[in-house]
Amino acid sequence: MILHQPRERPAPWSVRRQRIPARWKWAAPFVAIEWFCEWAAFALSNWSLLEVLEYLGSFSILIAVIFYFSESGARVKQRHYQAWQVINTAQGKGGSGGRIEALEELNADRVPLVGVDVSSAFLQGLDLEGANLMRSNFSAADLRGSNFAAVDFAFSNLNSANLRGAHLDRAKFFDADLRNTDLTGSTLAAADLSGAALDNADLTHADLRDVAWQHLASIQGANIHQVQNPPPGFLAWAVSHGAVDTAGADQ
């Protein structure tokens, strides 16, 4: 913002010219230009229109700031709409198609992702910690190394998903379909598997510390080879309900 202050009246040119030292007479044209600018500044400093325009400029900035914040909700909605458009357009297709960024952006804004369908998608390293993914479809998706800590997967379809090395701490899998899921090396500490189906899932080296397993729906054919920190009674129960202990080809 320009500080508007009236300027002092410049001296006449005759006076200003006499002030030029003899050895600087060659600079007289430059001094004349400076003197002319001083007079122009003096004249404009007393021009009220410029002061009014200055205030109007400041006022327009204030109006722009007010409009920017008043429309912030609309911009957020537009961003969310575009993210959902990316997810829905790529539905049923392989690859990422921008879905990793779209899902993470929506979750960062605490938008529920209930019912999202990313089946067969390539989503390695996806970070959806704390997301609401109830009734979602991640079947046959590549989710290796993803972060699903504290996620709600209730009634979700994770059949044949690749969750190798995924973080599933404190995740809720109420009545979730985890059949044929690759959970090799994943972390399921304190996860709740109540009602979940783990038939033919691969739990090799999975960390089952404090996992809630007592109400598992089924575990027929699941591989429990070298599971880490199994809760008391889990291994015996799993074997009695059809689980196997088989070293895979990569063991």
212 contact partners, CB below 8 Å, separation of at least 6: 190, 191, 192, 193, 194
Count of beta carbons in the 10 Å neighbourhood of residue 158: 29
pLDDT at res. 112:
94
How far apart are the C-alpha atoms of 34 and 60, rounded to whole Å?
Answer: 33
Task: Report percent pLDDT > 90 for the chain.
Answer: 61
Query: Residue for token digits 């909605």?
Result: 77
Q: Taking the domains of the chain in order of start, what are their residue ranges?
A: 13-70, 71-251
- The mean pLDDT value for 197-202 works out to 98
- CATH fold group of domain 71-251: Pectate Lyase C-like (2.160.20)
Model confidence pLDDT, tens digit, residues 45-92: 665 555 666 666 666 676 666 655 655 566 678 888 898 999 988 877
pLDDT at res. 69:
62
Confirm if 190 and 213 have CB atoms less than 8 A apart: no
Residue scoring higher pLDDT (171 or 78)? 171
Q: How confident is the model at residue 110 (pLDDT cuts 50, 70, 90)?
A: very high
